[in-house]
Amino acid sequence: MASDYTTPESLAALSKVDPEIALLLPTLPPSPTTNISMRQMNATHATNMPSIIGNVDQSELRKIPMRDGYMNEIRTYGPKKGKSLETVPLFILICGGGFVNADNKWLNPYARAISALYDTTVVSISYRCAPKFKFPFAANDAWDSLEWITSHAAELGANPVAGLVLGGVSAGANLAAVTCQKSVSEKFSPPLTGLWLGQPFILDEEIVPQGYKPLFISRRDNQNAPLLNDAMIRYAYDQAAFDVHSPKFSPFNATNPHIGMPPTYIQVCGLDPLRDDGLIYERALRENGVSTRMDVYSGVPHGHYAAWPYAATSRKWDFDVVSSAGWLLDTPADPACIIIALDGRHGP
């Protein structure tokens, strides 16, 4: 439970390596240190993700305009024909990649499962990456995509009034959180009805609220963690040139943060430098009256589910993503159906 992670000791215990992951660590290649090697790592992890079966049409690609005229690609998944448009919700996904690379195919497994199980139109967006496109290009692209997708939802086979959920992992979770907070601050219509954040990047040491500072220790404790370490985070900072005090960097920088945010599901990895970002954000949301759910995966690193998709914690992560999508859409799915949608290989 969230209340269990309120002391440095309870947080430090989360960094103890999971026994199964400890056996798998020797299979990892060296951590990437350049843009090219990070792309290669992400591409490899994407191919490891499980294939998905389900009652869902093939994905469709289209280009949509950003504020400066740039045409960004989106990938859309819709339920089979015959579903009434008025009842089809919209679920928008944003992939990770450390702000230096991104591919809207990377979340295909979740997109297909969510679309099939919940009769939902799922749109996986793209955004421009550093170093060519520095901060705040990615945040602007995420916002522009939300505006275009919701205003053209009927073309995509959805009705955002029936449900509008935004989600992402890692850098994509940052963009999802920032975009959602902006939508609340600006009273965006139709309002977002749910938010999913997988291993989110939310905070910088300079902007951690004073009351949470004693609990922001994962950057130090997990600085040499596998899959994502301090050097890789510093690389992303150098390439993207973040303004850490901007509301386009973190929802904590909004004028009146957290109040009025939609129900939010957060996943946190114990052996992750970003661990405390998610833990602190969940607590801040909850303390401001937001309905939250959180799963914490003790002893596993950032991106474990892609590096070792058949590990027990990875199977649970995938199951939790798809199951919690039902909570956010207010349409729970039978656990057996979730496992089938995940090709029968994943479950709690």
Cβ distance 102 to 314 under 8 Å?
no
Query: Distances from the Cα of 114 to the Cαs of 35, 166, 273, 322, 328, in angstroms?
Result: 31, 12, 28, 6, 11
Per the model's pLDDT, the better-predicted residue between 188 and 45 turns out to be 188
The pLDDT, as a whole number, for residue 84 is 83
Question: Token pair for residue 260?
Answer: 């009025």
Judged against a pLDDT cut of 80, whether residue 57 lies above it is answered with no
Q: What is the CA radius of gyration of the chain?
A: 19
CATH no., domain 2-341:
3.40.50.1820
Judged against a pLDDT cut of 60, whether residue 79 lies above it is answered with yes
Judged against a pLDDT cut of 70, whether residue 49 lies above it is answered with no
Cβ distance 141 to 66 under 8 Å?
yes
The pLDDT, as a whole number, for residue 83 is 76
Judged against a pLDDT cut of 80, whether residue 31 lies above it is answered with no
The pLDDT, as a whole number, for residue 29 is 82
pLDDT tens digits for range 206-232? 999 999 999 999 999 999 999 999 999
- Average pLDDT of the residues of the chain: 92
61 DSSP β-pair partners: 75
Stretch 317-327: mean pLDDT, rounded?
A: 98
Place of tokens 């005090």: 245
Confidence of residue 145 (pLDDT cuts 50, 70, 90): very high
Domain ranges of the chain: 2-341
**Does the global pTM surpass 0.85?**
yes
The pLDDT, as a whole number, for residue 343 is 76
CA distance linking residue 192 with residue 328, whole number of Å: 10
Per the model's pLDDT, the better-predicted residue between 37 and 164 turns out to be 164
Share of the chain above pLDDT 90, in %: 84
Which DSSP string corresponds to 57-73?
PPPEEEEEE-TTS-EEE
